[in-house]
Amino acid sequence: MVKLGKISWKTHLLKPLSWTPIIKGKQKNSCWVQLSGHEGSLISNGKGSVLKRYSQCEAECLLQLQLDILRSFVPKYQGEKMLDGERYLKMQDLLCNFKSPSVMDCKIGQRTYSESEVIADSSENFRKDLYLKMISTSPNVPTEREHREKGVSKLRYLQWRDTISSTAEFGFRIEAIKLPSESTRRDFQHTRKWDEIINHCKLFIQGRKIIAQNYLLRLLKLRTILEVSDFFAKHEFIGSSLLFVHDESGYANIWLIDFAKVTSPSPLTIKFV
């Protein structure tokens, strides 16, 4: 079964959109501007395109996706660009056609980490930094040995992190929500019950049935396309998100984003029954 999983346009797209011009060397007169608070990570030209720090894996995925039936559900890939000595991916700005958008980032998958993240980390390698993160929210979770060592392995931490949210049980979790004129909410780490998720979704759409209907239609179309997508059948999605966006007009859309950890576990091919 294909595994879906974790990354983060949330930290870029869900921040209130204030702009800071680039004032560096020869880029002083450039039309590209950086998202305030995220200098160097995501850059917009205000004309429908953004630059994202280069990832070879993401570039290859975006190229392949432009030729797949999934292409209407992913950002349009516009190539690469060098800016101020840095290499970037250039792609569609998914928010450019919305006025005062509401945005929700949902991480998909029952596992949000790749095997490569933990393969070099021995189960006997106890890390104090991860132990401190764990006890900051769940002080009774570490075992006696972990308390004694004041450390946990990376695999243990990552597995625990996925069980405290809805990730492990439902295959997705709310990562962040941004409503117009409100600060971004990211306090969903312990949202795991179905009724809690429903309540957050109701608040996100502000009780507007037309928004819910438009999202449902888009999700049903996505499901149909995923069942016949050659790319989806041959790749493991780790670190990807569904980005939900709507505005006061009632227009709503959903995109699949973040492909830096998407891999192809060849020669496996997933078949849906």
- Virtual torsion, Cα 208, 214, 217, 219, nearest 10 deg: -90
Please tell me the least confidently modeled range out of 43-57, 185-199, 242-256.
43-57
User: What per-residue confidence (pLDDT) applies to 66?
Assistant: 97
User: What per-residue confidence (pLDDT) applies to 46?
Assistant: 81
User: What per-residue confidence (pLDDT) applies to 20?
Assistant: 32
pLDDT tens profile 192-215: 999 999 999 999 999 999 999 999
CA dist., res. 36 & res. 29, Å (int): 18
| Average pLDDT value for residue range 261-270 | 78
User: What per-residue confidence (pLDDT) applies to 123?
Assistant: 62
Residue 9, pLDDT above cutoff 50: no
Q: Is the entire prediction scored with pTM above 0.85?
A: no
| Average pLDDT value for residue range 108-118 | 83
User: What per-residue confidence (pLDDT) applies to 121?
Assistant: 67
Cβ–Cβ < 8 Å for 123, 270 = no
Question: Could you tell me the two tokens for 1?
Answer: 């079964």
Q: Give the β-pairing of 19-21 and 102-108.
A: unpaired
Residue 167, pLDDT above cutoff 90: yes
Q: What percent of the chain has pLDDT over 70?
A: 80
CA dist., res. 71 & res. 51, Å (int): 19
Band (pLDDT 50/70/90 cuts) for residue 2 is: very low
User: What per-residue confidence (pLDDT) applies to 115?
Assistant: 76
Residue 258, pLDDT above cutoff 60: yes
Beta strands in the chain (DSSP E): 19-21, 33-35, 42-44, 49-53, 77-83, 86-92, 102-108, 172-178, 241-246, 252-257
User: What per-residue confidence (pLDDT) applies to 231?
Assistant: 97
User: What per-residue confidence (pLDDT) applies to 70?
Assistant: 98
φ/ψ (deg, to 5) at 210: -65, -35
Please tell me the least confidently modeled range out of 26-35, 133-142, 172-181, 240-249.
26-35
User: What per-residue confidence (pLDDT) applies to 271?
Assistant: 63
Residue 26, pLDDT above cutoff 70: no
| Average pLDDT value for residue range 161-187 | 92
